[in-house]
Amino acid sequence: MSEFLLHILCIAGIYAMVALALNLQAGYAGLLNFGHIAFVGIGAYAIGLGSQFSLPLYLVIPAGIALAMLVAAAMALLGRQLAADYWGIATLALAEIVRICIVNEDQLTGGSQGIGGISTPWATGSEQQDVLLFSALILLCLTLCTLISLRFGNSRFGRALRLMREQPQLAMCMGYSLLWLKCRALMCSAVMCAIAGMLLAWYTNYVSPDYLLSSETFLIWSMVMIGGIGNVRGVLLGVLVVEGLYNFIPFARDLLHMSSDLTGALRLGLVGLVMLVGLLLRPGGLLPEKLRILP
């Protein structure tokens, strides 16, 4: 039972990093990025390809992060002349283009079969000890991402992002470049997501195009919206709620003798129901963003 709880906490920690990264865009800057999961996939495939070709980590990790930042910059430039809703659709299309390219590149990425046999560089041979080491690493990365998110929220950069979110014309009048603000927010988010994707590839010892499905992006969006968009503590709470629902369903399947197909549909349906009820009763989330009053 303790190993199962540790597994849930590890997966929740990785998803929390991705949710915090989305909050940098959606919560602080008000950006509707529906291709957010592409950054996670890029980080995961960087580790997968590095493992497949036996490349050193000091090359693989910076290359994966740099590629994720490059895609983030491309997303920002893509939205230069687009309204927020159209830009959100464009980011979804860009993420799908990345996934389709990975699926069709059989020789390099393994196609739809993905890349398996990914070993962690700190493997000791003891499964229990490896899990404990990995849990500590995920906790460390999550703590750093949380501190960075809090720091951004209280910094001049975070205030500029909120000003762009609420009054973009006023932000321009004050001398801020909206394109540069969007680009910085997306690139910072891409770094966190790429690292989360690398941790996910190491944890599962496998990477596949399923990591880039659009449903994963909307799962992250549900975590942020249920917890409280714009509030770091709310985002972390939303991750715990959604992960709790996701891991409760298998127990219900055993009790009610449901099929596996019904279990998968029930997972998505239950998360969607909770999000709809939350939007009706608490539109700002369980822990909504607090208004900032200047002295």
Asked if 10 and 203 count as a contact pair (C-beta separation under 8 A), the reply is yes
d(CA 250, CA 248): 6
d(CA 228, CA 111): 37
Q: How many CA atoms lie within 13 A of 106 on its CB side?
A: 0
d(CA 26, CA 220): 11
Q: What is the separation of C-alpha 45 from the centre of its chain, rounded to a whole number of angstroms?
A: 15
DSSP strand E in the chain: where?
115-116, 206-207
pLDDT score of 250 more than 90: no
Q: What is the pTM of this model?
A: 0.93
**Which pLDDT band, with edges at 50, 70 and 90, does 196 fall under?**
very high
- Mean pLDDT, the chain, rounded, equals 88
Other Cβ atoms less than 10 A from the Cβ of 3: the count is 10
- Mean pLDDT confidence for 59-75: 95
d(CA 231, CA 16): 13
Q: According to the model, what pLDDT value does residue 284 have?
A: 87
Asked if 30 and 160 count as a contact pair (C-beta separation under 8 A), the reply is no
Which CA distances in Å does 222 have to 22, 60, 166?
A: 11, 31, 22
Residue 139: strand, helix, or coil? helix
